[in-house]
Structure 1
Amino acid sequence: MDFAFWFAAALATFFVGMSKGGLPMVAMLGVPILSIFIAPAAAAGLLLPMYILADCYGIYLFRGSFSARNLCILIPATAIGILLAFLFISRIPVPATKLLVGAIGLGYLIDALRKRLRQDFRAKPADVPRGLIWGALAGFTSYVSHAGGPPFQAYTLPQKLPKMTFAGTATILFACVNWMKLPPYILAGQVTLNSLSQIAVLAPLALLGAWSGFRVTKWLPEKVFFTLVNAALLAVSVKLLWEGATGWS
C-alpha cells in the first residue's frame, strides 16, 4: 500500500469518526474516498470496524442525549431490515436499492419544502407503524449499500427533535446497526485479518474524528446544523439516484 492509499484511508477514517460525533453529513465521504484505491466492497469492509470503534465512543459522548422512544421503535425495525437483506441480498440488484433510497430522501425534502411554503411547521411525533417501516428500510439499505441515513432522516426530521437528541439517536441507532452487520460481513469476506491490521493503525483517527464531530455539533447553531443535515441528505439522495440509474450495465 502506498502513501496515497494511507492518506485516503486516514481521511476516510477521520470522516467516519466525525459522523459518529454528530455530523452525519460527512458520513457519505468515507467509502467514495477509499474506493479510488480499492474495490467499494473492500472499502466498506475496511471502514465497518472503524464505524464500530467510533460508535463506542459516540455512545459515550451522547449517553445523555437521545430519544429512547425512537430507539425502542427503530432498533427492532432495523434488525428486521438487516435480516431481510441478508436473506434476499442475492436477488436484489444494488442499483434498485440505491434508486429507492435516493427517491426516499428526495421525496422527504420535496415534502418538507411544500410544508415550509404552506408554513406548516407542526412536529410529527414518533409512532410505531411509521417507525417500523422506515426503520426496516434503514436497516435493509444500510446492509446493502451503507445508505441507511435517508430513511432514518425521513422518519426523524419531521419530529423536530433538538439537534443533540437527533444526533445522539442517530449515533446509537447506527451503532446497533453496524454491530448487527458485522457477522455477515465477516462471512462475506469483507472484514478480514488483513483489514483488521490496517484498522489498528487507523483507529486513533476514528476516535479523534468522533471527538471533533461532537465538539462541532455542540458549537453549531441549531438552524445551521439542520440546514447542513438537509443539504447532505440532498447530496446523498442525488448521488444514489445517479449511481442507481447508471449502475445497471
Structure 2
Amino acid sequence: MQAVAGLTLFSDVTSLTAALVAVFLVGLSKGGLGGAFALMGVPILSLAMSPVQAAALLLPVLLMMDAVSLWAWRGWFDRATLWHTLPGALLGIALGGLTAAYTPEAMVRLLVGIVALGFVARMVLDRRGGPVAPRGQSATRGTFWGGVAGFTSFVAHAGGPPFQVYALPLGFDPRIYTGTTVIFFSAVNVVKLVPYAALGQFNTATLTSALVLLPLAVGSTLLGARIVKHLRAEVFYPLMYGMIGLVGIKLVWDGLTALLG
C-alpha cells in the first residue's frame, strides 16, 4: 500500500476502496445502465479525497470507459440525433470553460435536478392515457438540449438529464439509444480534456491512479453493456425514467444542501 500511495492519490485502503466502488458504479452506467450510478462517482470519491481531485481522477477513467463503450456499442447509433445535439454541446462546453470560475455549481445542479424531475413527471402524466407516440427530431431542440448538456457536464458533471430530455422521447430501440448516448458523451469528454488541462487539473499522480483503475473500468463497463443488451424496450424505458428520477432527486438534494449549508 505504501508503494501505491507514493505514486497515486490513494493514500490508504479507504481511499482505494472508495475509488474501486465509484469506478464500478460509473462503469455500469457508462455501459448503458442508466445515469444514476454515474452521479455517485464524485461523491463517493470525495469521501477520501477533495472533490477537485475526484473530478480530475474520474475524467481519464471516463475516457477509458468511453473507448470500451464505443467498441461494445459499435454500429448502434442514430446519426440525426448526434447531428442535432453535438454542435450545441461544443458551444456549451466552451461556455462552461469560460464561465466555470463564476458559475455556482450548486445552483446548476439544483436547476438540472428540477428539470429532470419535471421531465419524469410530465412523461408519467402523459403515459397515464396510454402509450405515447415517439417525438420527432428537431434541430432547434437538439441544439438547445445538447448545449445545456455540454455546459452542465463541464460545470457540474451533470450532463445526462439534459441530453435524455431530448433523446428519450425519440423512442429508439434501447440499443440505438444507448449507442447514440455513448458517442455523444464520448465526444463531450474528449473535448472537456482541453479546458480541464488548461485549468491544471491533471498531474502524474492523477494519471497513474487512473491507470490502476483501468481493469475495473473496462470490466464494469462491459458488464453494464451486457445487461442492457438483454433488456426489452418495455423494461428499458421505465428503468431509464426511474434512473432520471433518482438523478433528479440527488441533484436537487446536492444543490439545496450546498446552497443552504
Q: TM-score, normalised by structure 2?
A: 0.91
CA contact (8 A) 2:86 2:143 kept: no
What is the identity percentage for the equivalent residue pairs of Structure 1 and Structure 2? Answer: 39
Once the two structures are TM-superposed, the CA of residue 243 in structure 1 deviates from its matched residue by 1.6
1:111 matched to 2:132: no
Once the two structures are TM-superposed, the CA of residue 242 in structure 1 deviates from its matched residue by 1.6
CA distance in 1 between partners of 2:31 and 2:50 (Å): 27
- Residue 47 of structure 2 corresponds to 36
Superposed CA offset, 1:13-50 (max 9, x none) = 22222222111332122112111111122111101101
Once the two structures are TM-superposed, the CA of residue 230 in structure 1 deviates from its matched residue by 1.2
The amino acid that maps onto 2:145 is W
Q: More deviation in 225-234 or 172-181?
A: 225-234
CA distance in 1 between partners of 2:183 and 2:148 (Å): 17
- Residue 82 of structure 2 corresponds to 71
The amino acid that maps onto 2:140 is P
- Residue 121 of structure 1 corresponds to 132
CA distance in 1 between partners of 2:181 and 2:195 (Å): 22
The amino acid that maps onto 1:221 is R
1:203 matched to 2:214: yes
- Residue 228 of structure 1 corresponds to 239
1:6 matched to 2:52: no
RMSD over aligned CA atoms reads 1.3
Once the two structures are TM-superposed, the CA of residue 188 in structure 1 deviates from its matched residue by 2.1
The amino acid that maps onto 1:117 is R
- Residue 239 of structure 1 corresponds to 250
The amino acid that maps onto 2:107 is A
**Structure 1: any 5+ residue segments left out of the alignment?**
none
CA distance in 2 between partners of 1:43 and 1:129 (Å): 35
CA contact (8 A) 1:163 1:225 kept: yes
CA distance in 2 between partners of 1:193 and 1:73 (Å): 37
- Residue 100 of structure 2 corresponds to 89
CA distance in 2 between partners of 1:164 and 1:201 (Å): 30
The amino acid that maps onto 2:83 is C
The amino acid that maps onto 1:81 is G
Secondary structure of the equivalent of 1:161? coil
Secondary structure of the equivalent of 1:105? helix
Once the two structures are TM-superposed, the CA of residue 120 in structure 1 deviates from its matched residue by 5.5
CA contact (8 A) 2:39 2:247 kept: yes
Q: More deviation in 94-103 or 217-226?
A: 217-226
Q: TM-score, normalised by structure 1?
A: 0.96
CA contact (8 A) 2:18 2:45 kept: yes
Once the two structures are TM-superposed, the CA of residue 191 in structure 1 deviates from its matched residue by 2.2
CA distance in 2 between partners of 1:29 and 1:167 (Å): 20
Q: More deviation in 31-40 or 14-23?
A: 14-23
